[in-house]
Every structure is written in C-alpha cells, then in structure tokens.
Chain A
Amino acid sequence: MRPTLLSSTWVIARKDLAIEFRTRTAFLAVLVFAVLGVAVFYFAWDATAVAALDLAPGVLWVIFTFSGLLSLQRSFGVEQAERAMDGLLLSPIDREAIFLGKALANLLFVAGIQLVTIPAVALLYNLSLGRPLLILFGVALLAAVGLVAIGTLFSAMASNTRLAELLLPMLSLPFFVPVVYGAAQATSTLLAGRPSQEAWPFLKLLIAFDLVFLVACTLAFPYTLEE
C-alpha cells in the first residue's frame, strides 16, 4: 500500500532527526555558533549609546537567520553520501513528502536553537521576559516556519552544486527579508512591553508569508530534483 503524504512526511522527518540525534554534530555546532554570536554582539555593544531594548530584537534575528542558514546547509547533505537521495526518489512516496519531512525536521532543529538563544539574549541584555516570553517563542516559531520553508527549498537546489555553502545564503537571504522584518518588529513591540495587540499586524504578516512560502516551496520542490 502506498504511504500517505502525512505518513511519509513523518517517516522522512523522523529519519533526519534520528540521524541528527545519533551524530549531534550539526546541532551542537549551530548552538555554539548562536551562543558565540550573541556573546560577540554583547561585547561589541556600547550600552551608553544604544539601549538594550533597541538592540536585542536585531541581535536575536541576525543570530536566528544565520544559525538557521547553517543548520539548513546539512539538510540535503546527508542525502548526498551513498546517493541516499536516489533511494528516496525510487520509493513510491510523493516528492512533496520529502520536502515536508525535511522542512519539519529542520523546523524542530531551528526551534531547538531558538529555545536556547532567546534565554541567552534575555540574560545578556538584561531583558525581563515574564509574560511576553511565551508570545516571543510563538513569534520565533512562526518566523522559523517561513525561514525553514525557503531554506529547505534552496538547500535542495544548492546541494548538487559545487558552491552549495555560498549559494544557499545568496539565494535564501533576499527571501528571508519579509519574514525577518515581521519577526523583528513583533519582537521589538513585545520586548518594549507594549500591548501584544500592537504586534498583531506583524504576526499577520508572518502568518501570510508562512502560508505563501510553505505552499509555493512545497509545489516548487519536485522541479528542483529534475536533472
């Protein structure tokens, strides 16, 4: 019996997470990168010139963008060795399921990085997170959906090229702009302690981009596999 889109998506995601859990190299490397990035920004920060509340959202989203890119690099790299991708393509699952499975695994990966980075930024920049913390994690997760959808698609395109490490950021970053803009504005509003309703227009922007990018990237993915 041919597996459904949902079940094959989960099979692919579980496989990628199992590989990551077994090796742990990528997660630890990206986590160290994220924490070091936060530290570098902290030491370069002149507290008398820029207020922590003005700087923290930018720091947070610069770190998320670049650590996200780093984590997405490896997404299709695991399929290159032993031509494992051919095994997936020969199986009767939908090609969209390969994309969605990889995107889901990447989303959990990026969410794990966010889970550590947000408290690290709060600690170093002396931010009182309290109530907005939960909403902030929600914003981060919403933005991660858009970033991961775009990054997974371009990771698939770049993985077969010799300049994959360079090509992925070059292709992805322009498309990250609307997502990062919406997320940074919403974060800024929440950290400033303004009512969460003020962040709602940015959240709507994020949701709209998530939906558009998720659908468009899922539909475009099968074409990236054609030689």
Chain B
Amino acid sequence: MLYAALTVRENVVLAARLYGVSDVRAATERALHHMRVLDRGDALVRALSRGLQQRVSIARALVHEPRVLLLDEPYTGLDALGAAALTDTLARLRGDGGTMVLVTHNIAQGLAVATHAAVMHGGRVLRLVRRDDLDSANYADEYRELVGGAA
C-alpha cells in the first residue's frame, strides 16, 4: 500500500494525516525509528529492497498506534534486522495494551510476541492456550501432530 514515487517519510506522513494523528512529524519519526528505517527516510520507496519496503509498510500501518492490529504473515520478506525490529515493535505495542491477531507459519516468531497461541486448520481453532502454559520446545511437534491429525 505504498506509493513508489514518494519517499519513505512522505508515505508514512500521508498515513498519519489520513488517520488524523495530532503530531504528524513526531509520530512519523517514531514509527520510522521503531522499524529501523529512519536513516532511509528521504529515499524513494521504489529505490528500496523488498525487505525495506515491507518495513516501511509496517511503519505506515503503525504510525497512528492502532489499538487493534491484524497481521497476516508480517515477517514475510523481512531480513533479520527487520524481523527483530518488528518483534520489538509488536512487543512494545502489546506492552502498551494493544490487541493483536498475528497469523504466521513461523512458530518461533509468533510465540516471541504472543500472549495466547491458537492452532487453526480448515477454519477451525484446534487448540488455544496461554503462552505461559505451553512448552515452546515441543510446540512445533504438537502443531504438526494437530494439523496432521486433522488433515
């Protein structure tokens, strides 16, 4: 949802204005800083790699600090730095009381920010547990067993 002909900063400023953010400049700089793309603020989006564009997209989506976030495979296309930035940002949003529904096939990344984990298959929730109650080491095996059994 980015405009390739605009700069990174212009894209995020646009989103902030569309959402009526009161201090557009501060919110934009904060979002870019959290996604670690502040140094690329004046670069045109079309000049960025796919991974960096993904980070800008996430900065754009978070600039108005939404209380509810729906994230569908947000780690796709991110490099290690981008993935770490996203995990930190999501953890901060969660800490601030935000609600997130994160869909991912990467169990480790999902568990890093989750308070609850659900396994879905064929549109049905097969298992829903609190993050603190599950065994991270064996969760991948449990997931495969559940999905394999349901298939």
Q: A: which residues have CB within 8 A of B? A: 1-3, 7-8, 11, 15, 18-19, 22-23, 78, 81-84, 86-88, 91-93
A137 to B1, CA, bound (A): 38
With CB as the reference atom, state the residue of chain A lying closest to B17. A11
* CB of B6 within 8 Å of the partner chain: yes
B15 interface residue (CB < 8 Å to A): yes
Number of interface residues of B (CB under 8 A): 16
Identify which of B6, B22, B44 contacts A1 (C-beta below 8 A): B22
Flag whether B20 is at the interface (Cβ < 8 A): yes
Please, which residues of chain B bring their CB within 8 A of the CB of A7?
17
Residue interface mask B118-147, A partner, CB < 8 A = 1: 000000000000000000000000000000
Please, which residues of chain B bring their CB within 8 A of the CB of A2?
A: 20
Picked from B3, B10, B17, B44, the residue with its CB within 8 Å of the CB of A84 is B3
Q: In angstroms, how far is the closest chain B Cβ from the Cβ of A6?
A: 13
- Minimum CB distance partner of A86 in chain B: B1
Instruction: Write out, one digit per residue, whether chain B residues 70-95 have a CB within 8 A of any chain A CB (1) or not (0).
Output: 00000000000000000000000000
B81 to chain A, nearest CB (A): 22
| Chief secondary structure at chain A's binding surface | helix
Cα–Cα, bound, A105→B21 (Å): 23
Please report the C-alpha to C-alpha distance between residue A43 and residue B103 in the assembled complex, in whole angstroms: 64
Give A22 to B22 CA distance when docked, in angstroms.
Answer: 27
B114 within 8 A of A: no
Task: List the A side residues contacting B15 at CB < 8 Å.
Answer: 87, 91
Indicate if the CB atoms of A18 and B6 lie closer than 8 Å: yes
User: Chain B interface (Cβ within 8 Å of chain A)?
Assistant: 1-6, 10, 14-15, 17-20, 22, 44, 60
B18 touches A88 (CB 8 A): yes
Point out which of B15, B18, B20, B60 has the most chain A C-beta atoms below 10 A from its C-beta.
B18
Q: Which residues of A contact B2 (CB under 8 A)?
A: 82, 84
Give every chain B residue within 8 A of A83 (Cβ-Cβ).
1
Q: Which residue of A lies closest to B22 (CB)?
A: A1
Whether B1 lies near A92 (C-beta < 8 A) is no
A102–B17 alpha-carbon span in the complex (Å): 16
Q: Which of B4, B14, B22 contacts A82 (CB 8 A)?
A: B4
Say whether A15 contacts B4, CB under 8 Å.
no
- Bound-state CA distance A19–B7 (Å) is 10
Contact in complex: B3, A19 (CB < 8 Å): yes
Contact (Cβ within 8 A) B17 A18: no
Question: Do residues B6 and A91 form an inter-chain contact, with CB atoms below 8 A?
Answer: no
A77 smallest CB distance to B (angstroms): 12
The residues of A that contact B60 with a CB separation of less than 8 Å are 87
Complex-state Cα separation, A22 to B15, whole angstroms: 19
B22 near A93: Cβ-Cβ < 8 Å: no
B5:A23 contact, CB within 8 angstroms: yes
Task: Tell me whether A91 and B18 are in contact (CB under 8 A).
Answer: yes
B residues in contact with A1, CB < 8 Å: 20, 22
Q: Which of B4, B19, B22 contacts A91 (CB 8 A)?
A: B19
Q: Looking at the complex, which one of A11, A18, A87, A93 makes contact with B1 (CB distance below 8 Å)?
A: A87
Q: Given B4, B18, B44, which contacts A8 in the complex, CB threshold below 8 Å? A: B18
A92 near B19 with CB under 8 A, answer yes
Tell me if B10 and A18 are in contact (CB < 8 A): yes
Contacts of A18 in B (CB 8 A): 5-6, 10
CA A88 to CA B3, docked complex, whole Å: 12
Complex: A19 Cα to B60 Cα, angstroms: 17
Q: Are A15 and B1 in contact (CB under 8 A)?
A: no
